[in-house]
């Protein structure tokens, strides 16, 4: 079964139903939700996007929501040519020293801050990248396992009660109660099954148990990496 996702907006609305947490702030929710997911070893939920970016003067701007580049290709003469990362220490200086840009080595790129630097002066690149999954209102999504959602809610509640306790607005007894619940919920979340579905497992197994190494995986954009190998036997 595919992992269900839940918006942090739903978590926030549920928590705010408690009068004690009516003033809960959005940044407080996001920060502590991220902390809890890291504590129990659950990665943030990412999605993959692909976009065309124009290159001018050996430079292109990254998408504003980019968290990490999966791959890049150069659109050259109506064809896509996979690019690789550059090891040239002067790759960011091609605009000022054009003679350094060696296209004979293949199409390359490097990244720095919010820019992508290429070894060709102008053109279009297709970038596939990872970004945080969000709902239609741009609220972050988290794994929808009941155990994980309950753990996130319990952790945020505990942290909020801890602040109120420091302000002498919450008793030690009530704080201890929510702390105990948080510890129990986290234990449940850590044992919650997060396994690949059968289709994902098939791709994973095929990529691991290859009889012959695929030396052209990058050139083929990894589209055959999870395919089952077959030998042709001549009669």
Give the per-residue pLDDT at 230.
66
Q: Is residue 133 over pLDDT 90? A: no
Specify which residues 61 forms β-bridges with.
115
Q: Is residue 155 over pLDDT 70? A: yes
Q: 126 versus 217: which is more confidently predicted? A: 126
At 60-101, the pLDDT tens digits run 999 988 888 999 999 988 899 999 998 888 888 888 888 888
Banded pLDDT at 50 (limits 50, 70, 90): very high
Global model pTM greater than 0.85: no
The total number of residues shown for the chain amounts to 235
Of 19-28, 47-56, 137-146, give the lowest mean pLDDT range: 137-146
- Residue 73's contacts (CB-CB under 8 Å, 6 or more residues apart) are 80, 81, 82, 83, 125, 126, 221
Domain boundaries, the chain: 5-45+135-190, 47-132, 195-235
Give the per-residue pLDDT at 234.
63
Give the per-residue pLDDT at 194.
54
Give the per-residue pLDDT at 1.
42
Give the per-residue pLDDT at 205.
72
Q: Which helix (H) or strand (E) holds 84?
A: strand 84-85
């Amino acid at each position: 079964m595919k992992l269900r996702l839940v918006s942090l907006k739903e978590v926030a609305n549920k928590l705010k139903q408690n009068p004690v947490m009516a003033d809960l702030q959005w940044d407080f929710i996001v920060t502590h939700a991220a902390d809890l997911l890291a504590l129990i070893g659950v990665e943030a939920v990412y999605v993959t996007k692909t976009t065309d970016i124009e290159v001018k003067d050996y430079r292109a701007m990254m998408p504003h929501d980019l968290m990490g580049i999966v791959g890049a290709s150069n659109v050259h003469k109506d064809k896509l040519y996979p690019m690789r990362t550059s090891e040239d220490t002067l790759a960011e200086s091609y605009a000022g020293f054009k003679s350094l840009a060696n296209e004979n080595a293949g199409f390359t790129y490097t990244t720095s801050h919010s820019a992508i630097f290429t070894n060709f002066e102008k053109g279009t690149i297709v970038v596939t990248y990872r970004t945080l999954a969000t709902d239609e209102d741009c609220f972050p999504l988290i794994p929808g396992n009941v155990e994980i959602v309950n753990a996130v809610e319990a952790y945020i509640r505990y942290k909020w009660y801890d602040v109120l306790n420091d302000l002498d607005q919450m008793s030690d007894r009530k704080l201890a109660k929510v702390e105990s619940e948080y510890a129990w919920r986290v234990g449940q979340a850590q044992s919650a099954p997060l396994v690949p579905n059968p289709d994902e497992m098939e791709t994973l197994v095929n990529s691991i148990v290859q009889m012959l190494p695929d030396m052209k995986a990058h050139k083929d954009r990894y589209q055959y990496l999870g395919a089952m190998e077959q030998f042709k036997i001549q009669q």
